[in-house]
């Protein structure tokens, strides 16, 4: 193999490090997105037998959002193996204990259960806040787009903008301002 071809091979199969901001994202929706990047399914050279998966760094995993009342309805099951060893942990309890666990489990379950899955999971880094170790952050060269729009709180919008925003409703004539 000539030197140029060898470099070509390295370039094609180079691993890219992606960053994903979990703020206000549904972990089960975003797991399907992250999964594609971890397994390399976003590449035109993808084949289940070639090793072309990328590395994904998830940040702000504490800020994930679940839908409706799922924080108290969704339960995570664990069994120690001993009789009476079953336990059910609610999503908010699990998130209190380890804010990275929900997104990790979601990505793990989004992938097919084969021998490759645990090795693919090794390429996923999850941090519960924005601070990422320097040696990991310096590799990051790409960002994965979120699926949901991050909502803005009313008190974070400047007061002038709120005042100048076009009004849909006008008060009736005899309304007492409150």
Partner 1 sequence: MAGLVKVGFSLARNAIISTSVRSIATTKSLNLKDIRECKEGSTLIVEGVTVPSPRTELLIRAENIPGYEPVVPSSKPPCYMCALGLDVKHTDVLILSQFVRTDGCMLPRRITGLCRRQQKKIGKMVTMAQKAGLMINLTPDNCKKDPRKRREHKKFNTYYDERTIFMKYIPKPLDRFKR
Partner 2 sequence: MSAKNLFLNSGFVRAPLQNGVGRYVCQLQRIVLKFCKSHGGSRGMRDFIEQDLVDFAKHHPGVVVYLKPRRHRSPVIVGEYLNGDRVWMNVHNKTHEEITKWIEVLRTQQGDIASVRLRKYQYTDHPSIQGPWTPFTFKDPELNTAELPSSKFGANNRLPMSATEQLRLMFEKQKISTKTEDLKIAE
Quote the tokens at residue 10.
Answer: 């390295």
116 in contact with partner 2 (CB under 8 A): no
Q: Give the residue with the Cβ less far from partner 1, 26 or 54.
A: 26
Q: In which element (H, E) is residue 116 found?
A: helix 116-121
- Can you tell me the distance from the alpha carbon of 44 to that of 19, in angstroms, rounded to the nearest whole number? 21
Q: In terms of DSSP bridges, do strands 86-90 and 75-79 run parallel, antiparallel, or are they unpaired?
A: antiparallel
The two three-digit tokens of residue 11, written as one number: 């370039």
- Residue 133 CA to residue 164 CA, distance in Å, equals 42
Minimum CB separation of residue 53 from partner 2 in Å reads: 12
User: Please, which residue, 35 or 95, has the CB nearer to partner 1?
Assistant: 95
Q: Which of partner 2, partner 1, none does residue 144 bind to, with CB < 5 to 8 Å depending on kind?
A: partner 2
* Cβ closest to partner 2, residue 88 vs residue 165: 165
Give φ, ψ of 19 to 5 degrees. Answer: -115, 145
169 touching partner 1, by CB under 8 A? yes
By CB under 8 A, the residues from 55 to 84 that bind partner 2 are: 59
Helix (H) / strand (E) element for 86: namely strand 86-90
Single out the residue of 6, 12, 78, 109 in contact with partner 2 (rule: CB under 8 A): 12
User: How many CA atoms does the CB half-sphere of 122 hold within 13 Å?
Assistant: 4
Binding site for partner 1 (CB under 8 A): 24, 26, 63-72, 90-92, 95, 148-149, 151-155, 157, 162, 164-178
Binding site for partner 2 (CB under 8 A): 8, 11-12, 14, 16, 19-21, 43-45, 54, 59, 130, 140-150, 165-166, 168
């Amino acid at each position: 193999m000539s030197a140029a071809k060898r470099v070509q091979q390295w370039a094609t199969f180079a691993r890219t490090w992606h960053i994903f901001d979990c703020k206000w994202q549904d972990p089960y929706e975003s797991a399907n997105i992250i999964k594609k990047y971890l397994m390399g399914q976003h590449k035109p050279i993808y084949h289940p037998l070639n090793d072309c998966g990328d590395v994904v760094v998830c940040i702000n995993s504490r800020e994930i959002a679940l839908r409706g009342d799922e924080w108290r309805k969704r339960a995570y099951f664990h069994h120690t193996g001993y009789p009476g060893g079953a336990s059910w942990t609610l999503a908010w309890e699990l998130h209190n204990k380890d804010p990275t666990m929900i997104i990790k489990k979601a990505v793990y379950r989004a992938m097919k259960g084969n021998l490759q899955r645990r090795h693919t999971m090794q390429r996923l880094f999850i941090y519960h806040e924005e601070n990422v170790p320097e040696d990991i952050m310096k590799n990051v060269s790409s960002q994965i787009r979120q699926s949901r729009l991050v909502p803005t709180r009313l008190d974070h919008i400047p007061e002038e903008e709120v005042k100048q925003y076009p009004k849909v409703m006008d008060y009736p004539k005899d309304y007492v301002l409150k």
